[in-house]
Amino acid sequence: MTPFVNTLEFSKTLDASDTLSGFREKFHFPILNGEPAIYLTGNSLGLQPITATLALEQEMKDWQNLGVEGHFHGKNPWLYYHKFLSQSTANIVGALPHEVVVMNNLTVNLHLMMVSFYRPTPKRYKIIMEAGAFPSDQYAMESQVKFHGYLPDDAIIEIAPRAGEHHLRTEDILAIIEKHADETALIMFSGVQYYTGQAFDIESITRAGHGKGIKVGFDLAHAAGNIELKLHDWNVDFAVWCGYKYLNSGPGGVSGIFIHERYANDPTLPRFAGWWGHKESERFQMRKGFIPEFGAAGWQLSNAPVLSMAVHNASLKLFDEAGMSALAKKSKTLTAYLQFVIEKSNLNLNIITPPVERGCQLSILTNDDGKEIFMHLQQNGIIADWREPNVIRMAPVPLYNSFEDIFKVGHVLNTYKLKSTAN
Ligand SMILES: *Cc1c(COP(=O)(O)O)cnc(C)c1O
């Protein structure tokens, strides 16, 4: 790769040779100061695809015109709606179509997966997770161990970075797994850490867990649609993610789950059941006795939230068109360019995201000026995000961010005057 140059012209040449640059036109951008914003918060809420409204209108129209008959005679019959999203979803996470289903919301799904895969025994009841996980995941783990009668402080083993470091070393994760193997029931990690942006070695963690008879699950909220995943090949037991971050499904949008195919037909695995997870061919016989549908679909509870899923599907189609590997490839260059312009700026910013094990997000640890720098970006048309106590996160998304965007970020950073020179 040619070395980066910190000029507008250079950023434009990168855009000119970017085969994905056209996807930018397929999204709505928020307007700041009368201009489309430079949007770096696709890690928090992805932008709206222009096709989302059309997809939504289709379902609204079928509802208007068909009422309940839309379940059978709609353009996309609602009865089978979840299936319309399975192949695209599988492409994104590296799964077989029957290993995934879109349903509910993320934290709900996390609990449902825990019902099936966190099966503590008096000897093996602990959960190993990263320290500083997203609060919802911490609360889910805490309430799950309590639900089974254990004390969180005893039952949850958190792995923290070494003193003076910001991210975890895989060797340390593997050492903790080894050390606590006999008492651990579940390893539960994020795929990409929401605060630091670290991408964990899902394959190695899974292999280490399985070597000790431990179930291994991942929360991919910040990984799905961000990094290339191969959940099936990596043998992950289960995973969950939300649709509204990199996957652009809209606020509170639907979530996805992955359950490895080895559990597809396993009736011994306990689960919380609902009618939509019942064997499809017999669902409307309304008989007693739950028989799960094959694969991840057998974990569904309720009939599909079609309006939310229609929006999600519009975005999934863009992912199909672009392809995850092309997106991941562009993403690496885009984020490397962001790192370059940040390092070129005269603000002495400290990027705590690992240089290699990462997705598109960079987390920048700031000093006294952090909040002001963040406000300065906002005043200059750049939407980044602020995480207490002192981190600015920027996530250039390959579907809709350009190299020119990144050049401008560097330029705006350079127009900020530091309050303290003791930086
Ligand atoms: C965004 C995020 C959530 C949010 O959970 P919801 O149930 O969708 O509100 C949970 N966990 C992680 C790791 C996240 O990044």
- Residue minimizing CA distance to atom 15 of ligand 1: 221
Going from the Cα of 137 to the center of ligand 1, the distance in angstroms, rounded, reads 7
Give the pLDDT means over successive 10-residue stretches in the chain (423 positions): 90 98 98 96 98 98 98 97 98 98 98 98 98 97 98 98 96 98 98 97 98 98 98 98 98 98 92 95 86 96 97 98 98 98 91 97 91 95 93 97 98 85 47
Rounded distance, CA 16 to CA 402, Å? 10
- Residue minimizing CA distance to atom 8 of ligand 1: 106
Rounded distance, CA 239 to CA 244, Å? 16
Going from the Cα of 191 to the center of ligand 1, the distance in angstroms, rounded, reads 12
Domain 8-43+324-422 has CATH 3.60.20.10: no
Burial of 122 (0-12, 13-18, 19+ CB in 10 A): exposed
Q: Is 137 in the pocket of ligand 1 (CB under 6 A)?
A: yes
Name which of 13, 36, 2, 46 is nearest 360 in CA terms: 46
Radius of gyration of the chain (CA): 22
Q: Is 222 in the pocket of ligand 1 (CB under 6 A)?
A: yes
Q: What is the pLDDT of residue 348?
A: 84
Going from the Cα of 221 to the center of ligand 1, the distance in angstroms, rounded, reads 6
- Residue minimizing CA distance to atom 14 of ligand 1: 221
For residue 329, give every residue at least 6 positions away whose Cβ sits within 8 Å of its Cβ, in sequence order, or none: none
User: Fold match between 8-43+324-422 and 56-321?
Assistant: no
Model confidence, pTM = 0.96
Pocket test residue of 43, 45, 105, 136 for ligand 1, highest count of atoms within 8 A of CB: 136
Work out which ligand 1 atom sits closest to the CA atom of 44.
1
Q: Is 86 in the pocket of ligand 1 (CB under 6 A)?
A: no
Rounded distance, CA 409 to CA 388, Å? 21
Name which of 240, 228, 248, 272 is nearest 137 in CA terms: 240
Pocket test residue of 134, 138, 190 for ligand 1, highest count of atoms within 8 A of CB: 134
Using alpha carbons only, what angle is made at residue 35 by residues 30 and 40, rounded to the nearest 5 degrees? 50
Going from the Cα of 243 to the center of ligand 1, the distance in angstroms, rounded, reads 10
Going from the Cα of 136 to the center of ligand 1, the distance in angstroms, rounded, reads 6
Sketch the domain layout of the chain as residue ranges.
8-43+324-422, 56-321
Q: Which residues of 359-397 are buried (b: 16+ CB within 10 A; e: fewer)?
A: bbbbbbbbbebbeebbebbbebbbbbbbeeeebbbbbbb
Q: What is the pLDDT of residue 283?
A: 83
Burial of 291 (0-12, 13-18, 19+ CB in 10 A): middle
Q: What is the pLDDT of residue 423?
A: 43
Going from the Cα of 260 to the center of ligand 1, the distance in angstroms, rounded, reads 21
Q: What is the pLDDT of residue 1?
A: 61
User: Which residue type occupies 285?
Assistant: Q
Q: Is 223 in the pocket of ligand 1 (CB under 6 A)?
A: no
Kindly report, residue by residue over 89-100, the tens digit of the pLDDT.
999 999 999 999
The CATH architecture annotation of domain 56-321 reads 3-Layer(aba) Sandwich (3.40)
Q: Are 237 and 207 in contact (CB under 8 A)?
A: no
